[in-house]
Structure 1
């Protein structure tokens, strides 16, 4: 799957670059004030297999854009989120060549949904009238019999696969075209369930919530989850030159030019090894 985590970081501008291969990563350029704040801002709780994160006032800039209370829910994506992921991706990436295709989303959300996460928030129908967001129509009811009609709406996602390579490769970014009929684990393309490298292919934040810290929040929350879960030794991604320093600030090391040939090449390998990862994170409460 050709899709590096590349995101447009120019404030108040729509993202123009996306993931490696067929998707990209569009998040936001966070404020300098946010950059200086303590990294221990996320309280993580696991309940019924889902990870809920109550984000404190360090994301007040997100709340300032919304006409309703922002109570984000950070949980694994499922195949039922396919439509919302596609809509979010299409809105986040201006260049169609940098978007993950629907079929690739279907493959990843089927092969490894446990390492693909989304940030959701509850929006009522009357709130939608005041804050139009195109992932609302594809969302699902918070509760089937909830009288107020609240829906769980996707506002950001991280989509990944696992690999046995130390960096993101074209094979990791690919996927078997016959995956619906193929026995899992029988292809050299795409997700390798025994791999110890999590390859981040898409980081997308809805355009209406970019440039307010949500991108960094989901990345740090995701890294914490992967590290604490123990199913990987590292996270890897590829990015363009102008994003190298951005990911270095998040703990990634620049490993040099990437051999990935998507889009004509020119990518950089970025790797975060958890044995050298010392970002301050709060204890996970189970």
Structure 2
């Protein structure tokens, strides 16, 4: 394989290109982009965000390896943020805590930028995330809570409903769901 050196490229200039599509763990520097997508996705539907900017920064500092962002041409288009949990079911404390000794990955939020919704990106990102979790030796299962209208979406991703979630946010009630990562 012969690769042209940067000096021999047309015009003698090195061209900087971004990958068309890239999946990577998020960093605290991504927090503002994450929050902008999340706010737009959730405020119109439920009136509140699962994570506020300070909480996003908190989790991206504490456990960035449990996040996954989808970038197209360097721009964040979809993401998942998770943390570890050490109980069988989610509780109010699960919304803000990362239990480093836990074996359940609590998926706090999955959001897709409005300009690329209805293209299957949420399902693809969740599939990639679950594949990634299989590589983490401590992850045994993934947990999430969602509004009832989202249950069919998560069931198509392989999650099973565990029933009503103990956690409520204002008037919103949630269904708790789980997905085995390894037996």
Partners of 1:108 and 1:197 in 2: CA distance: 15
2:135 counterpart SS class: helix
Higher relative contact order (CA 8 A, sep 6+): 1
Aligned-residue Cα RMSD (Å) equals: 1.8
Instruction: Please list the CA deviations of residues 16-43 of structure 1 after superposition, one character each: whole Å capped at 9, or x if unmatched.
Output: xxxxxxxxxxxxxxxxxxxxxxxxxxxx
Shift of 1:267: 1.0
Match of 2:51 among 100, 107, 111: 100
Counterparts of 2:26 and 2:111 in 1: how far apart (Å)?
13
- Provide the rounded CA distance (Å) in 2 between the counterparts of 1:81 and 1:202: 15
Please report the TM-score for the alignment, with normalisation by the length of structure 2: 0.83
Change (3 A) 1:205 1:197: same
Give the number of the structure whose residues are more often strand, by fraction.
2
Give the structure 1 partner of residue 34 of structure 2.
85
Equivalence for 1:154: 76
Distance 1:165 1:80 in 2: 30
CA distance in 2, matches of 1:160, 1:88: 16
Q: Deviations over 1:68-124 (max 9, x none)?
A: x982110000011112112221222225413521111111111111111100121xx
Q: Within 5 Å, which residues of 2 pair with 1:1-286?
A: 71-93=20-42, 94=44, 95-122=46-73, 152-174=74-96, 190-275=97-182
- Quick check: 2:38–2:49 contact (8 Å CA) kept in 1? no
Q: In structure 1, the residue corresponding to 2:134 is in which secondary structure?
A: helix
> How far apart are the structure 1 equivalents of 2:19 and 2:30?
20
In the superposition, the TM-score normalised over structure 1's length comes to 0.54
Mapped to 1, the partners of 2:145 and 2:108 lie a distance apart of 8
CA contact (8 A) 2:78 2:110 kept: yes
Using the alignment, how far apart are the partners of 2:99 and 2:77 within structure 1? Answer: 28
Unaligned runs of 5+ in 1: 1-68, 123-151, 175-189, 277-286
Please state which structure has a larger fraction of its residues in helix: 2
Secondary structure of the residue aligned to 1:98 is coil
Q: Please list every run of 5 or more consecutive structure 2 residues that lacks an aligned counterpart in the other structure.
A: 1-17
